[in-house]
Structure 1
Amino acid sequence: MAGRIPDAFIQDLLARTDIVEVIGARVELKRAGKELKGLSPFTHEKSPSFFVSPVKQMFFDFSAGKSGTVITFLMEYDRLSFVEAVEELALRAGVEVPREGGPSTHVVMDGPLDALAGAQRFFREQLRLNPTAIEYLQRRGVSGDTGKTFGIGYAPDRWDALCDFLKTPEHAVTAGLLIERDKGGVYDRFRNRVMFPIRDTRGRVIAFGGRTLGDDPAKYLNSPETPLFHKGRNLFGLYEAKTATRAALPYLIVVEGYMDVVMLHQFGITEAVATLGTATTRDHLTLLYKATSKVVFCFDGDRAGRSAAWRALEQALPEVHDTRECVFMFLPDGHDPDSLVQEEGADAFRARIDRAPTLTEFLISELSKQVQLGSLDGRAKLAALARPYLGKMREGPLRTLLVDELARITRLSADDVLRMAAPEAPARNAEASAPTATRSSPSAATRAVKAAIQALLEQPALAQRVEQMSLLVQSPAPGIRVLIDALDYFHAHPDAHTAHLVEAWRGTPAGAALQRLMAEPPILSAEDRVREFDDTIQHLAQGGQARRRDDLMEASRERELSAAEIRELGALLKERRPAR
């Protein structure tokens, strides 16, 4: 089993690599002060908003909302996994990627993956030899190029065809390709089916879906849940959608079937993906919104389709915020995406997407069907029906606009609608409403910590000016832990630049916070930044000092302080006295 790549090697690799050289080989850059700028490689912008910082060894794409280290850039631009990006940089630097021994969280399941890759090659070859399967695909309108893009194949109508091809059955059983018999031995799971490989975001085959060519009552059959494959966490066609273009995806269309994805792709609508025989899950939405800011749910226009759309809406409500969008496209009677795009073409299909109702429009429309808006009781009922759905949404502009629209329709005030959405917070209870006000208006302490972290990211050498770490630890300021950890890192690595810290914290909440802070342009000049940083550290240390003093005073009322604690409290009280 392959081990994880040591963190020390990644840090050394970043030190060996110049991000300007790597990106400059792919994007035309021009000098702009201390940075270099160019057109975004991820969008179709006409004025440059893509910047590369040699000092930070970071890139910032304000058009696409992306930023990160040279590793992040290769992952985004070259469609590489993290490991592949590291291996690419190592090859460029002329060094070998080491691996730590023993168990690792970075598991590469070579056996099952090899079995799945072998099965895909086998199914592709069998398709070439089976006229019936070829005729079925031709009748459905699938071209040879499209079949090659998706790796479509055929599973022979035998119980042992794949068994004979795969000489070691244990990995194929783990991968869900073969089934163990009760009395020993194995047999093929898929028989007489057109096979659709299901890939992960790295392009590896992790499962299959098969469409029967016989009279099997199960028209479509998916691989079972395995260590590699979970229906609720994977999407058919996502890898193909992401690799069809280097530009950012304008949206992703969620459809039901394999053939829907395949045919839309063939007509140039390469943004289609399909859930795998299950309803849309929160994990699906996480995958979707990692790839795009807009999700288009495509459903039949009948009652079953609208019920499925409503279930998708309930999953999407907590996920649609900030720049994220979600729309619901309903198909005309008798059509699925496959048949509709063949009948009316790609332009007309995309035009339907442009006219599709948004999440809030669909929500209000469906709830309004359950009431009589012409009556007082009906409008009151609408507000009550909307309450649980408002409760699922995050605070932000979309929720505010939905509240305003509900207020307009029900003729209530926006405050009344909000009050109904949060009945546990009494309207006249000032203490209960205070946390909400605090969340919407960051405190001075929060702003101070944020400014200190931003200054540190601009000039990591500032960490060497901080000596009161023990007092900072005592500070109650929100976000202080991120600041302390960043200071600790730059104390331990005095030659490190910002990219080293970002890479060290990759995949953590603190790392995500850094990404957001770095996306904001610095407000202060270098000189003002140092002064602001020093003042903030001093203020936070004083707050920590006061917190420690109060804690010791409180402890002295409940127990006898140790000799060391008494000396510490005495020193803290002495420091608090004003000078005479």
Structure 2
Amino acid sequence: MQIPETLLEQLNSQADLVGMIGKHTTLKPAGREFKGCCPFHGEKTPSFYVNPETNLYYCFGCHAKGNAIGFLKDFERFSFIEAVTYLSEQTGIELPKDDNYQKKLKYKKIIKSEGAKPYPAAHHHFDDTSLQDSNHKPTVIATDWQPNQPPAQEQAQGDLYSLLDSICQYYQFMLHSTPAAKQYFLDRGLSEQTITAFGLGYAPEGWQHLEQVFPQDLEGLQILGLVRQSKTDGRTFDLLRHRVIFPIRDNQGRVIGFAGRSLGDEMPKYINSSESPVFQKQHILYGLYEARKQKASDYLVVEGYMDVISLYQAGIYGAVAPMGTAVNQKQIERLLRYNPKLTLCFDGDNAGQRAAWRTLEVAAPILYDDKELRFLILPDNHDPDTYIQAHGAEAMRQAIDKALSLSAYLYSVLASQYDLTRPESKAHAMAALRELTEQLPKGSSLKWWLSSDIYQKIKALGNNRYPSSTVDVIDYTHDATDTISEIGLYLLHNPALLTPDPLAYIITNSGMDTAHLALSERLTNQAITPPELPSWQNLASPMLSEIIATIQALPDELVYDDTVDANQRAYFIIAAMSDETKQQLTTHWQHFTQTKITQKVQDNRPLFFEILCNAIQDWLKNEQQKNSRSLLLSEIYKRRLQALNHWDALHNKAPLAEILTK
């Protein structure tokens, strides 16, 4: 298997080198690096350094040096293939399954005639008077080819990176040729310098403008998902039309995709280009390339592209945004490698604060004692972009400096959800806190300090040492239904989901049960038994266990009778349960039926499968964390998690009946 240098660069740059080496020697922050005793030779005075920005290590004593792959080969005694496979599973970057990876970056160019000269990818000129569409609106095409080009036959294959760069230049040209589009950015307060720095552009209104400008590259445009084919009449059309364009760059600064913001009434307001061989959304943070180019030292996670750009223009570097989805654990882990203190800034409305809480839950398993999360809650439902426009850059800097600590944020959220003057509510608040802190890394002292600090604050309310008027309470509405309880609620609504056993089905069909087989020889050599697979007993809370046991005792005519009202059946099942479980279910059931059950029963089954997959993923991550000291066991859990994620991505949108019949 040949692995191209570009892919090796990605693996080495995104690997958690500090975490890998930290399993074998204690590393402590030393400026922008980490310092410790060299694991390669015995020493009492630390002379070993790891740089999380370059992801390189060096020992001034024995002169050992290298990158992530080098460390796995030299210290862990991995083969090259074992090393890159391990890093692939750690980072989520897929390895080529054969020697055709480099070919995936290529596509066939359409050469019209033998004498035709394809344009050079990064050097061309656009003429906006050359072509008009059927509505007599000017459409820009590429006409001015540069001299000294290679012969046409040598250009028979195109490169996706070069095509993306050309498209980016085309969109930039269109922005400066379309005053109304450019005015959008000017009205948002952006300068010419900022527009240039981020390569902002505009996609015109025409349905086939990319095909007209790049007629040789139709295959490449379709691979990138920028040109699609209608299912009704087979015609091709552009994904991005009449939208201002935000180019998306990878760690090396290469354009790998685009985001488009509508200038009209089109919905959705934002569209990202499709995933492709060069663009995987879960690995990319918008603005990270620009932040590292400016040597940012502090990082801030925000929600939108304009937030990143406005902060950059204000001289506040280090702002990044996920690709239209929630920030994931790997992305947070990477930012915490650059700086152990990370600030989360979400919109001030309830939706933004729910996103902040979900991000905290995602980050909890990697919040070791040397890491710190801070929370910036902007007033009056502002986001960073609007806050800078209203109050200026200096006010934004002060707001970032005053961001809430994790303890202050947790107390504020709990105070918004519970009446902390009542003993019962205090107990509920501490239970909610305990549920979160249980997700922190094993052995973390942060768990104890958070519990102690918030307990003292809640206790002090009775002594009037913390008057309620001095407490900053976040206006935050949180759905307290955890994932496991939500699984139980779906089963209450439709008990037939238990037959056939969905957990066993997922484990078998995702390949989780065979993910360890490739490591059998190493398991045997080290006398290690493969770890157990998830079971209902692993996942279940007492409430879910009781729901499953009650459903399994029901007669089939009740479980499978579609004429029985779902609410009546649910209350019949609840009535057979213990008083404690009844009270819990009654608390959640009304909210669940109002917010989750909005379609027919069969339409909700895929969502149940998705939630069950999330529960399995959480269990696998927790088990992986518990076994992180054992490289082999950790690798097995990673392989199982990768198999589950791949299966989930392929199947979670298909109807359950369709899945089970495959």
Residue 109 of structure 1, aligned match among 94, 105, 108: 105
In structure 2, relative to structure 1, the CA distance for the partners of 1:223 and 1:353 (3 Å cut) is: same
Tell me the residue number matched to 2:225. Answer: 176
Matched, 1:250 2:239: no
In structure 2, relative to structure 1, the CA distance for the partners of 1:341 and 1:50 (3 Å cut) is: farther
In structure 2, relative to structure 1, the CA distance for the partners of 1:3 and 1:121 (3 Å cut) is: same
Q: Secondary structure at the match of 1:296?
A: strand
Give the aligned CA root-mean-square deviation in angstroms: 4.3
Matched, 1:213 2:263: yes
Q: Secondary structure at the match of 2:365?
A: coil
- 2:174 maps to a residue whose letter is Q
Deviations 1:202-245 (A, max 9, x none): 22212111112233233222113334334343221111111111
Tell me the residue number matched to 1:202. Answer: 252
Tell me the residue number matched to 1:79. Answer: none
Tell me the residue number matched to 2:151. Answer: none
Tell me the residue number matched to 1:440. Answer: none
Residue 421 of structure 2, aligned match among 369, 374, 378: 374
The structure number with the bigger radius of gyration is 1
Q: Secondary structure at the match of 2:251?
A: coil
Deviations 1:491-550 (A, max 9, x none): xxxxxxxxxxxxxxxxx9869x9xxxxxxxxxxxxxxxxxxxxxxxxxxxxxxxxxxxxx
Counterpart CA distance in 1 for 2:244 and 2:420 is 51
In structure 2, relative to structure 1, the CA distance for the partners of 1:5 and 1:151 (3 Å cut) is: closer
Counterpart CA distance in 2 for 1:351 and 1:107 is 50
Matched, 1:363 2:410: yes
Deviation, 1:359, is 2.3
Q: Secondary structure at the match of 1:226?
A: coil
Deviation, 1:259, is 1.3
Counterpart CA distance in 2 for 1:346 and 1:50 is 39
- Comparing 274-283 and 197-206, the one that deviates more: 274-283
Counterpart CA distance in 1 for 2:272 and 2:527 is 54
Counterpart CA distance in 1 for 2:162 and 2:433 is 50
Deviation, 1:101, is 13
- 2:281 maps to a residue whose letter is K
TM-score, normalised to structure 1, is 0.54
Deviations 1:333-380 (A, max 9, x none): 153211212333333212111211122321232123333333432332
Counterpart CA distance in 1 for 2:329 and 2:51 is 27
Counterpart CA distance in 2 for 1:106 and 1:408 is 59
Q: Secondary structure at the match of 1:194?
A: strand
Contact kept in structure 2, 1:313 and 1:359, CA below 8 Å: no
Tell me the residue number matched to 1:394. Answer: 441
In structure 2, relative to structure 1, the CA distance for the partners of 1:59 and 1:236 (3 Å cut) is: farther
- In structure 2, stretches of 5+ residues that fail to align are 10-29, 59-64, 71-95, 107-158, 461-524, 529-628, 635-662
Tell me the residue number matched to 2:389. Answer: 342
Residue 369 of structure 2, aligned match among 322, 326, 332: 322
Tell me the residue number matched to 1:285. Answer: 332
Contact kept in structure 2, 1:380 and 1:410, CA below 8 Å: no
Contact kept in structure 2, 1:241 and 1:271, CA below 8 Å: yes
Contact kept in structure 1, 2:299 and 2:335, CA below 8 Å: yes
Deviation, 1:267, is 0.8
Counterpart CA distance in 2 for 1:286 and 1:375 is 38
Counterpart CA distance in 2 for 1:336 and 1:410 is 30
Residue 148 of structure 1, aligned match among 193, 196, 200: 196
Counterpart CA distance in 2 for 1:147 and 1:296 is 26
Deviation, 1:67, is 5.1
User: Per chain length, whose mean CA-contact separation is higher, i.e. which structure has more relative contact order (CA < 8 Å, sep 6+)?
Assistant: 1
Q: Secondary structure at the match of 1:392?
A: coil
* Correspondences of 1:79-478 after superposition (within 5 Å): 103=99, 109-110=105-106, 111-166=159-214, 167-182=216-231, 183-245=233-295, 249-395=296-442, 396-409=444-457
Contact kept in structure 2, 1:261 and 1:274, CA below 8 Å: yes
Deviation, 1:388, is 1.5
Tell me the residue number matched to 1:493. Answer: none
Contact kept in structure 1, 2:407 and 2:453, CA below 8 Å: no
* Correspondences of 1:547-558 after superposition (within 5 Å): none
Deviation, 1:55, is 10
- Comparing 366-375 and 390-399, the one that deviates more: 366-375
In structure 2, relative to structure 1, the CA distance for the partners of 1:71 and 1:142 (3 Å cut) is: farther
Deviation, 1:272, is 0.8
In structure 2, relative to structure 1, the CA distance for the partners of 1:372 and 1:51 (3 Å cut) is: closer
Counterpart CA distance in 1 for 2:450 and 2:210 is 54
Tell me the residue number matched to 1:558. Answer: none
Tell me the residue number matched to 1:16. Answer: none
In structure 2, relative to structure 1, the CA distance for the partners of 1:227 and 1:299 (3 Å cut) is: same
Contact kept in structure 2, 1:113 and 1:206, CA below 8 Å: yes
Q: Secondary structure at the match of 1:317?
A: helix
Deviations 1:318-337 (A, max 9, x none): 12223221111111215321
Q: Secondary structure at the match of 1:168?
A: helix
In structure 2, relative to structure 1, the CA distance for the partners of 1:475 and 1:159 (3 Å cut) is: closer
Contact kept in structure 1, 2:222 and 2:228, CA below 8 Å: yes
Counterpart CA distance in 2 for 1:188 and 1:509 is 49
Contact kept in structure 1, 2:438 and 2:447, CA below 8 Å: no
Q: Secondary structure at the match of 1:318?
A: helix
Deviations 1:295-338 (A, max 9, x none): 21112323222222222222121122232211111112153211
Counterpart CA distance in 2 for 1:362 and 1:180 is 48
In structure 2, relative to structure 1, the CA distance for the partners of 1:304 and 1:474 (3 Å cut) is: closer
- In structure 1, stretches of 5+ residues that fail to align are 11-39, 76-99, 413-472, 477-507, 514-580
In structure 2, relative to structure 1, the CA distance for the partners of 1:360 and 1:101 (3 Å cut) is: closer
- 1:297 maps to a residue whose letter is L
- 1:180 maps to a residue whose letter is Q
Counterpart CA distance in 1 for 2:391 and 2:412 is 27
Deviation, 1:106, is 8.2
Tell me the residue number matched to 2:86. Answer: none
Deviation, 1:52, is 12
In structure 2, relative to structure 1, the CA distance for the partners of 1:259 and 1:475 (3 Å cut) is: closer
Deviation, 1:185, is 4.4
Deviations 1:460-483 (A, max 9, x none): xxxxxxxxxxxxx7799xxxxxxx
Matched, 1:68 2:57: yes
Counterpart CA distance in 2 for 1:319 and 1:222 is 29
Counterpart CA distance in 1 for 2:330 and 2:4 is 25
In structure 2, relative to structure 1, the CA distance for the partners of 1:60 and 1:119 (3 Å cut) is: farther
Q: Secondary structure at the match of 1:369?
A: helix
- 1:174 maps to a residue whose letter is I
In structure 2, relative to structure 1, the CA distance for the partners of 1:173 and 1:64 (3 Å cut) is: closer
Tell me the residue number matched to 1:458. Answer: none
Q: Secondary structure at the match of 2:417?
A: coil
Contact kept in structure 2, 1:267 and 1:346, CA below 8 Å: yes
Counterpart CA distance in 2 for 1:382 and 1:104 is 55
In structure 2, relative to structure 1, the CA distance for the partners of 1:52 and 1:296 (3 Å cut) is: same
Counterpart CA distance in 2 for 1:263 and 1:180 is 36
Deviation, 1:3, is 4.0
